[in-house]
């Protein structure tokens, strides 16, 4: 059975796991005060080109989004996101459990269109009754998005400028940031992200780690006592080393981006096969997620041999499905899928 159902099917990338084994019996202080965590923080700050950046490690993406949003927003504010954004759809209410509203705007190809964002903000502030409403207090985007698409540098700059104008932070969910950074046609680097975002996280769970995400405040303006705030939401591991060692390894000698290439290379093989065989793409994505329209009978046959993700019903006889690759996808599996299509 071939497996393309998601990008978290395996454990950690071997170098990461190896490092956990090597450091396992070292006695280290807890709660993220160990030397590996410090080293990982420094390496990430450097990779971002932001020596003053503050970096924190949190066990998962939903937890990270909940904590960042609930600690950075004022109580009268909500977070603006595309209606397709992960925080609006697939977090089981974690943002609201953190007491904040997601202010959704119709997304296009998984992205938040800058003109729609501007109009939303203008309309809000022009409304005489806006003090009865939830104030837009942060802009959330994901890069790469849940649809595998990427904002160009120009698009990020436009969102950045709107956020500057309205004095609200731009927050980038980078659960799949590695795959975006090495995607064909991507014109955005990690230092670009660090320049254009006020807060972002670099995803580990989907890119080489057993678990864990690295939250970056590139300007060094994290909320005070942020570690305490992470603990208050249950996200602080006693053995902070688990995250420190992993990210220290991922950010040594460019491992994070190096392993990301595999996801893209294998996705390219699949996309080329789909294209050659005349399949209809649901969306044009350059990263590790491929969305395609399958005729239902064809889908059922394929399902016998391949695990993939149901996305949505297109019409009575067609369905949109998703093939996901990752750092762990074998080229031979991608080729086998290509042959099956």
Residue 74 backbone phi and psi in degrees, to 5? -75, 160
Q: Which of 51, 167, 224, 316 forms a contact with a copy of itself (CB under 8 A)?
A: 224
Q: Which stretch binds a copy of itself (CB under 8 A): 14-22, 43-51, 263-271, 275-283?
A: 14-22
Cα 244 from Cα 259, distance rounded (Å): 18
Secondary structure class of 197 (helix, strand, coil): coil
Q: Which residues lie below 8 Å from residue 131, measured CB to CB, with a gap of 6+?
A: none
Q: Is 328 in the site for a copy of itself (CB under 8 A)?
A: yes
Q: Is 29 in the site for a copy of itself (CB under 8 A)?
A: yes
Q: Is 27 in the site for a copy of itself (CB under 8 A)?
A: yes
The burial class, CB within 10 Å (0-12 / 13-18 / 19+), for 268 is middle
Q: Which residues lie below 8 Å from residue 213, measured CB to CB, with a gap of 6+?
A: 57, 58, 59, 60, 61, 64, 174, 175, 201, 202, 203, 204, 205
Query: Count of residues binding a copy of itself (CB under 8 A)?
Result: 79
- Minimum distance from CB of 126 to a copy of itself (Å)? 8
Of residues 59 and 290, the one with the C-beta less far from a copy of itself: 59
Of residues 149 and 326, the one with the C-beta less far from a copy of itself: 326
Q: Is 197 in the site for a copy of itself (CB under 8 A)?
A: no
Q: Which of 184, 191, 234, 254 forms a contact with a copy of itself (CB under 8 A)?
A: 234
From 91, 189, 191, select the one nearest 140 (Cα to Cα): 91
Q: Which stretch binds a copy of itself (CB under 8 A): 138-146, 161-169, 185-193, 203-211?
A: 203-211
Q: What is the largest CA-CA distance in the chain?
A: 62
Q: Is 319 in the site for a copy of itself (CB under 8 A)?
A: no
Q: Is 75 in the site for a copy of itself (CB under 8 A)?
A: yes
The burial class, CB within 10 Å (0-12 / 13-18 / 19+), for 128 is exposed
Cα 43 from Cα 252, distance rounded (Å): 7
Q: Give, as ranges, the residues between 152 and 171 that touch a copy of itself (CB under 8 A).
A: none
Q: Which of 46, 74, 275, 317 forms a contact with a copy of itself (CB under 8 A)?
A: 74
Of residues 33 and 46, the one with the C-beta less far from a copy of itself: 33
From 209, 218, 152, select the one nearest 180 (Cα to Cα): 152
Task: Let me know: does 106 contact 81? Beta carbons within 8 Å.
Answer: no
Q: Is 66 in the site for a copy of itself (CB under 8 A)?
A: yes
Q: Which stretch binds a copy of itself (CB under 8 A): 29-37, 184-192, 214-222, 317-325?
A: 29-37
Q: Is 335 in the site for a copy of itself (CB under 8 A)?
A: no
């Amino acid at each position: 059975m071939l497996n393309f159902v998601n990008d978290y099917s395996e454990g950690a990338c071997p170098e990461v796991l190896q490092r956990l084994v090597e450091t396992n019996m070292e006695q280290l202080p807890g709660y993220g005060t160990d030397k590996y965590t410090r080293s990982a923080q420094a390496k990430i700050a450097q990779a971002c080109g932001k020596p003053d950046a503050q970096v924190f490690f949190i066990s998962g993406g939903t937890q990270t989004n909940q904590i960042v949003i609930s600690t950075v927003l004022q109580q009268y504010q909500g977070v603006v996101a595309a209606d397709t954004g992960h925080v609006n759809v697939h977090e089981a209410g974690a943002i609201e459990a953190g007491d904040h509203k997601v202010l959704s705007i119709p997304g296009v190809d998984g992205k938040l269109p800058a003109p729609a964002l501007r109009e939303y903000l203008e309309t809000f502030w022009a409304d005489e009754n806006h003090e009865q409403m939830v104030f837009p207090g942060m802009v959330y985007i994901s890069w790469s998005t849940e649809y595998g698409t990427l904002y160009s540098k120009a698009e990020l700059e436009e969102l950045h400028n709107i956020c500057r104008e309205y004095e609200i932070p731009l927050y980038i969910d980078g659960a799949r940031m590695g795959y975006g950074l090495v995607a064909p046609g991507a014109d955005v680097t990690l230092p670009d992200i660090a320049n254009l975002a006020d807060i972002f996280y670099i995803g580990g769970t989907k890119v080489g780690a057993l678990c864990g995400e690295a939250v970056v405040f590139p300007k060094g303006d994290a909320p005070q006592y942020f570690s305490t705030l992470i603990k208050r939401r249950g996200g602080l591991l006693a053995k902070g080393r688990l995250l420190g060692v992993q990210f220290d390894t991922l950010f040594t000698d460019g491992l994070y981006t190096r392993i990301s290439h595999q996801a893209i290379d294998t996705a390219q093989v699949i996309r080329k096969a789909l294209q050659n065989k005349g399949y209809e793409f649901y969306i044009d994505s350059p990263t590790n997620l491929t969305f395609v329209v399958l005729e239902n009978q064809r889908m059922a046959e394929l399902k016998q041999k391949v695990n993939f993700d149901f996305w949505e019903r297109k019409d009575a006889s067609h369905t949109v499905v998703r093939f996901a690759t990752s750092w762990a996808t074998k080229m031979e599996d991608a080729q086998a899928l290509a042959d099956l299509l």
